[in-house]
Amino acid sequence: MSRLLVVSNRLPVTVSAAQGEAIVTPSMGGLSTGLRGPFERSQGLWIGWPGDLSQLDDAARASAMKELQALRTLPVELTADELRLYYEEFANGVLWPVFHYLLDRIPVHSGGWEMYRKVNQKFAAAVAAQYRPGDTIWVHDYQLLLLPGMLRELLPRARIGFFLHIPFPASEVFRMLPWREDVLRGMLGADLIGFHTPSYARNFASAVVRLLGHEPVVDELSVSGRKVRFRAFPMGIDTETFTGATQPSDESFRPRPGEHLLLGVDRLDYTKGIRRRLSAVERVLQRRPDLRGKLRMLQIAVPSRESVTAYQDYRRRVEEMVGAINGRCSTLTDAPIHYMYRGFPQEQLIDLYRAASVMLVTPTRDGMNLVAKEFAAARTDGDGVLVLSEFAGAAEEMPEALQVNPFDVDGMAQAIEQAIDMAEGERRSRMAGLRARVLRFDVHRWTEDFLAALADDELAVQVEPAPLLPVGQVAEAARSAVLAGRRVVLLLDYDGTLVPIAPRPELAAPDPELLRLLAQLATKTGLSTHVLSGRPWQDIDRWLGGLHINLHAEHGMYSRIDDQWRARGAAPEDMREKVLATLERVSANTPGSHVELKAAGLAWHYRLAEREQGAHQARELRLHLRELLVGTPLEVLIGDKVVEVRPRGVHKGLIAHEVLRPSDLVIAVGDDRTDEDMFAAAPEGAFTVKVGGGTTSAKNRVGDVAGTRALLRALAEQL
């Protein structure tokens, strides 16, 4: 089994000091419980911040380090400054509100980005120092969004997983983040990216297309020739803990017959919707005076991020509200809201879940919300009602809950009444549905699913990028071949290979340097140069017609041999019209796209269209055209930001076959998917060269157009 390196902002331990001795206690979070199995079995290592150790004296510090090591954790220590800027200002001050759609909480100025990057780098160095080939790295959450990308640079072959525990917002919101591209690139360093729900995965896909232009195919992306998968892995809980027996505790909080206990359990966080929830409870009391004295709300709020101002403010406002409502609604013997600002031991929490008549989980946004699942698991009696926000990730898996819009306070009040009045039969049947799913998809299943997907064999054969072309050696080989009386054939694509890709096709005219180089090559004996382009023959003729080289246009539909352009066939006129009508309709609906009429084929270009819309229309168009063209002599060809229709069976490979002789030394250079046909047709011993990154069957690559030019220059000098 591959050794597991878990990386999270916080280590799952608490370090405290007593009489100069450090005490390190493992904490009980869901994540550490879920990971315990694979972590132990693989003798894993957990890397993260251990908490503030600055208060420890030397001896205590040394003993803490020893204990941390014994627990197989590796501390990444952070200075007060690092913590303030990386964690408080950036992760919690900027990323947290943006990812939870709370745009008014984004500060006008945040100086945290640089430090966020630096601390991610610090984590990267710590992980890389521990990494051994064969290890599996699993990075967690929004504090470390850049880490997968940084690790990919340091460890190109490592298997890296990333899981986001908070929502991934709609791309409309995500793109407000000034560092949006860096964040996406950071995440894309992973082989597998996990989210709590399919909607977050969709939002992510949409942001990636829109901002980086990578088009996903179902749940997969190709990033510089690397496969990156993204999927929903809804997190579960450690059900055993929550279904187990507890020691009988103080009974006084249990509702007596005719009484109702409403329960809220949250970290005190402004995304949890505590204020609106309290308002809804007050509204119930106003509408139903009969419930006064019989309805109690117990709100438990665990202290959280207390050094962040927004959290201090939120706490004050919640507490003022509790006071105000109690002031208005208390009777001589009872106050309706019982509020506690502290953490509870898990046993007591379970007791509370079991005692509650109605559990209120009403965040305005929440990645998943495990409290909802814990409540269902704890209800071994099969009773109790869950009121759940439709904006919690858990809502997608818990349709039997009474789902509410937390912004609709009246609606929430009605749902609370409905829950209180619900007949026992309905309560039990809803709870049975909730429990069945929660118990089945627990945290162990979640860990297994994620790690199994990450270990998938397909990923193991990550495509190695083709090595750089040794230009000097190729030119030497060409020279020797010519001297030995062999012919050297140079097969060159045009756009993206000889000239850079231009925003519109007509802007990609050849520059004087290229014309000079090609003219020079045309004079070399023993060298036969062919340009193979997908463009209309008129373009190629206008731009390169003056050179004494072989030209092929429209992927080979037209070839100029002996100064005469010849066609290999044409599309039937009626089909051409049908296709043209379709392309023009799509073009009219997609600003920035346009139709190109070629002599034999037709193309729809969408490089300038809004990326997501372009990609979407291209997918639809492809499906539509495939149907339209069944049984016709035409086929659909997908290029780089272009969908093309052309006569079937004519491609660059066909041309290569036609012009090549077995004794030739072949050098084929191209950048696009259509050039793969050319590479496939090249004989054994040929130099096949891909321009730029991306998956290819070519044996070598050059970085860009300048790389192709360097090759042409070397050939011109050597031959």
| Cβ burial 556-594 (10 Å sphere, 16+ → b, else e) | bbbbbeeeebeebeebeeebbebbbebbeebbeebeebb
Containing 451, the helix (H) or strand (E) segment is helix 443-455
Among the listed residues 60, 284, 371, 669, the single contact to ligand ADQ using CB under 6 A: 371
Report H helices in 51-108. Answer: 58-70, 80-82, 96-99
- To ligand ADQ, the closest distance from the beta carbon of 365 in angstroms equals 8
Q: Is 341 in the site for ligand ADQ (CB under 6 A)?
A: no
Q: Is 113 in the site for ligand ADQ (CB under 6 A)?
A: no
Stretch that binds ligand ADQ, among 363-371, 442-450, 497-505, 523-531 (CB under 6 A): 363-371
Containing 492, the helix (H) or strand (E) segment is strand 488-493
- Write the CB contacts of 660 (distance below 8 Å, at least 6 apart in sequence): 489, 666, 681, 682, 683
Q: Is 343 in the site for ligand ADQ (CB under 6 A)?
A: yes
Q: Which is nearer to ligand ADQ, 253 or 344 (CB)?
A: 344
Q: Which is nearer to ligand ADQ, 51 or 343 (CB)?
A: 343
Q: Which is nearer to ligand ADQ, 101 or 344 (CB)?
A: 344
- To ligand ADQ, the closest distance from the beta carbon of 209 in angstroms equals 25
- To ligand ADQ, the closest distance from the beta carbon of 322 in angstroms equals 15
Q: Is 93 in the site for ligand ADQ (CB under 6 A)?
A: no
Q: Is 267 in the site for ligand ADQ (CB under 6 A)?
A: yes
Among the listed residues 368, 508, 678, 719, the single contact to ligand ADQ using CB under 6 A: 368
- 105: closest CA among 121, 117, 89, 123? 89
Stretch that binds ligand ADQ, among 65-73, 367-375, 418-426, 427-435 (CB under 6 A): 367-375
Q: Which is nearer to ligand ADQ, 343 or 526 (CB)?
A: 343
- To ligand ADQ, the closest distance from the beta carbon of 164 in angstroms equals 9
Distance CA 378, CA 380 (A): 6
Q: Is 166 in the site for ligand ADQ (CB under 6 A)?
A: yes
Q: Which is nearer to ligand ADQ, 392 or 686 (CB)?
A: 392
Q: Is 401 in the site for ligand ADQ (CB under 6 A)?
A: no
- To ligand ADQ, the closest distance from the beta carbon of 137 in angstroms equals 19
Q: Which is nearer to ligand ADQ, 235 or 491 (CB)?
A: 235
Give the three-state DSSP class for 279: helix
User: Is 234:397 a contact under the CB 8 Å cutoff?
Assistant: yes
Stretch that binds ligand ADQ, among 121-129, 366-374, 379-387, 403-411 (CB under 6 A): 366-374
- To ligand ADQ, the closest distance from the beta carbon of 291 in angstroms equals 25
Q: Which is nearer to ligand ADQ, 183 or 527 (CB)?
A: 183
Distance CA 120, CA 116 (A): 6
- To ligand ADQ, the closest distance from the beta carbon of 349 in angstroms equals 6
- To ligand ADQ, the closest distance from the beta carbon of 373 in angstroms equals 8
Q: Is 164 in the site for ligand ADQ (CB under 6 A)?
A: no
Distance CA 296, CA 12 (A): 35
Q: Which is nearer to ligand ADQ, 191 or 266 (CB)?
A: 266
Q: Which is nearer to ligand ADQ, 7 or 466 (CB)?
A: 7
Structure tokens of 272? Answer: 């949890």
Among the listed residues 203, 206, 241, 369, the single contact to ligand ADQ using CB under 6 A: 369
Q: Which is nearer to ligand ADQ, 343 or 639 (CB)?
A: 343
Distance CA 235, CA 443 (A): 6
| Cβ burial 385-408 (10 Å sphere, 16+ → b, else e) | bbbbbebbbbbbbbebbbbbebee
Binding-site size for ligand ADQ (CB under 6 A) equals 19
- Cα first-last separation, the chain: 55
Q: Taking the C-alpha atoms of 336, 341, 345 and 348 in order, what is their torsion angle to the nearest 10 degrees? A: 0
Q: Is 344 in the site for ligand ADQ (CB under 6 A)?
A: yes
Could you tell me the sign of the dihedral formed by the alpha carbons of 366, 368, 372, 378, in that order?
A: negative
- Which one is catalytic: 135, 238, 269, 493? 493
Residue with tokens 């959290």: 311
Give the three-state DSSP class for 225: coil
65: number of CA atoms within 13 Å, CB side? 10
Among the listed residues 265, 451, 521, 625, the single contact to ligand ADQ using CB under 6 A: 265
Q: Is 300 in the site for ligand ADQ (CB under 6 A)?
A: yes
Q: Is 30 in the site for ligand ADQ (CB under 6 A)?
A: yes
Among the listed residues 349, 434, 498, 517, the single contact to ligand ADQ using CB under 6 A: 349
Q: Is 367 in the site for ligand ADQ (CB under 6 A)?
A: yes
Distance CA 165, CA 196 (A): 7
Q: Which is nearer to ligand ADQ, 30 or 216 (CB)?
A: 30
Q: Which is nearer to ligand ADQ, 349 or 498 (CB)?
A: 349
- To ligand ADQ, the closest distance from the beta carbon of 340 in angstroms equals 8
Stretch that binds ligand ADQ, among 181-189, 202-210, 259-267, 685-693 (CB under 6 A): 259-267
Among the listed residues 89, 238, 282, 366, the single contact to ligand ADQ using CB under 6 A: 366
- 492: closest CA among 672, 703, 355? 672
- To ligand ADQ, the closest distance from the beta carbon of 363 in angstroms equals 8
- 433: closest CA among 402, 468, 470? 402
Site for ligand ADQ in 199-238 (CB under 6 A): 235
- To ligand ADQ, the closest distance from the beta carbon of 604 in angstroms equals 42
Structure tokens of 514? Answer: 């290229």
User: Is 497:698 a contact under the CB 8 Å cutoff?
Assistant: no
193 CB-contact burial (10 Å; exposed 0-12 / middle 13-18 / buried 19+): buried
Site for ligand ADQ in 307-326 (CB under 6 A): none
Distance CA 167, CA 235 (A): 13
Q: Is 579 in the site for ligand ADQ (CB under 6 A)?
A: no
Beta bridge partners of 668: 491, 688
User: Is 402:388 a contact under the CB 8 Å cutoff?
Assistant: yes
Q: Which is nearer to ligand ADQ, 267 or 568 (CB)?
A: 267
- To ligand ADQ, the closest distance from the beta carbon of 265 in angstroms equals 4
Maximal C-alpha separation, the chain: 110
Among the listed residues 106, 212, 291, 302, the single contact to ligand ADQ using CB under 6 A: 302
- To ligand ADQ, the closest distance from the beta carbon of 366 in angstroms equals 4
Query: Is 421 an annotated catalytic residue?
Result: no
Structure tokens of 13? Answer: 């331990």
Give the three-state DSSP class for 604: strand
Residue type, 719: L
Distance CA 397, CA 390 (A): 11
- 468: closest CA among 710, 674, 252, 666? 710
Structure tokens of 656? Answer: 């290569």
- From residue 79, give the alpha-carbon distance in Å to each of 84, 93, 125: 9, 18, 16
Enumerate the active-site residues: 493
By CB under 6 A, name the binding residues for ligand ADQ: 30, 165-166, 235, 265-267, 300, 302, 343-344, 349, 366-371, 374
